[in-house]
């Protein structure tokens, strides 16, 4: 029983590493181009631990189901509130290309992390660097194709409730794979990381891809689409995503009890 609990805790820790990788991508590029990061958090909900260094608070929160990198002026409005100011470190005051770079950096880090881990795995197995690199890229292609096929099946209505899983289901699946050895867990985490990277770039409100889409629309339209309208769309998208997370958590729990 104790071993099973430790495995679950270890699986949650590994899942948090994937989130940390994604958010670190946003964080690193934001810092690189001079955007102020107000908070870098691992986990959601009540604060467990926080330490402020410079302009940034680094936080660890109770629920290991997400994380975030809160940028100065990221949620801009037209009411003279956060984001609309002369602050050069505000995300709202950056050029469209810099905004896109920050927004895309999270998914890039997910993809890059998976590639590096796969390369390390094959090198550890004793393959030469060239062979390891080719194998890593080949597996990345397999993972990407699997994500594409999954999205096609979802859009085509070919996926049932029992075929989808959320955070609870993923932690349970990682725990199961742990019994078959660390190599299985490493490959699974790489697959999940690629999945997160691709899904986050979809043009869906509240996701990075949706935010990038609005940056491009406002850029091409000369700003005729108001920041307030964009904020409403992303808020609605976030509500729907949270509702989906709750549904998936309940669905995972039902599947685990079967």
What single-letter DSSP state applies at residue 161?
A: G
Reported as a single tens digit per residue, the pLDDT across 173-227 is 666 666 667 788 888 888 889 988 998 998 888 889 988 998 998 888 876 776 7
pLDDT bracket for residue 83 (50, 70, 90): very low
Measured distance CA(114)–CA(25) in Å, rounded: 13
pLDDT of res. 106: 93
Number of domains in the chain: 1
Q: Give the Cα separation of 234 and 211 in Å (integer).
A: 8
Domain hosting residue 11, numbered range: 2-257
How many separate helices (H) and strands (E) can be counted in the chain? 7, 2
Interhelix angle for 182-199 vs 96-124, to 10°?
160
Check if the beta carbon of residue 197 is closer than 8 Å to that of residue 108: yes
Alpha-carbon distance of 147 to 144, in angstroms, equals 5
pLDDT per position as a tens digit, 13-68 = 777 788 888 999 999 999 999 999 999 998 888 988 889 988 899 998 887 767 88
Dihedral over alpha carbons 175, 177, 183, 187 (to 10 degrees): -90
Catalytic residue numbers, as ranges:
23
Q: How many CB atoms lie within 10 A of CB 20?
A: 17
Task: Please give the pLDDT value at position 81.
Answer: 47
Q: In Å, how far from its chain's centre is CA 133?
A: 25
pTM of the predicted model, to two decimals?
0.80
What is the overall mean pLDDT for the chain? 80
Other C-beta atoms closer than 10 Å to the C-beta of 248 total 18
**Which residues pair with residue 209 across a beta bridge?**
none
Contact 92, 201 (CB under 8 A): no
């Amino acid at each position: 029983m104790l071993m099973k609990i430790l495995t679950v805790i270890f699986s949650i820790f590994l899942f948090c590493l994937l989130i940390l990788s994604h958010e670190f991508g946003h964080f690193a590029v934001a810092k690189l181009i001079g955007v102020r990061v107000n908070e870098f958090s691992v986990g959601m909900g009540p604060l467990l631990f926080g330490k402020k260094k410079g302009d940034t608070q680094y936080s660890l929160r109770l629920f290991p189901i997400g994380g975030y990198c809160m940028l100065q002026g990221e949620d801009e409005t037209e009411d003279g509130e956060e984001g609309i100011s002369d602050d050069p470190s505000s995300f709202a005051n950056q050029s469209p290309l810099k905004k896109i770079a920050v927004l895309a950096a999270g998914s890039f880090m997910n993809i890059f992390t998976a590639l590096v881990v796969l390369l390390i795995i094959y090198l550890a197995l004793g393959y030469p660097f060239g062979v390891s690199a080719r194998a890593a890229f080949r597996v990345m292609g397999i993972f990407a194709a699997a994500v594409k096929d999954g999205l096609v099946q979802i859009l085509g209505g070919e996926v049932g409730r029992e075929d989808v899983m959320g955070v609870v289901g993923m932690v349970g699946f990682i725990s199961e794979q742990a019994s078959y050895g660390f190599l299985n867990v490493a490959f699974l985490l790489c697959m999940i990381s690629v999945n997160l990277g691709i899904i986050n770039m979809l043009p869906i409100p509240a996701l990075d891809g949706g935010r990038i889409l609005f940056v491009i629309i406002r850029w091409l339209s000369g700003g005729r689409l108001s920041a307030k309208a964009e904020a409403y769309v992303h808020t609605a998208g976030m509500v729907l995503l949270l509702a989906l997370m709750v549904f998936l958590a309940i669905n995972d729990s039902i599947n685990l009890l079967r």
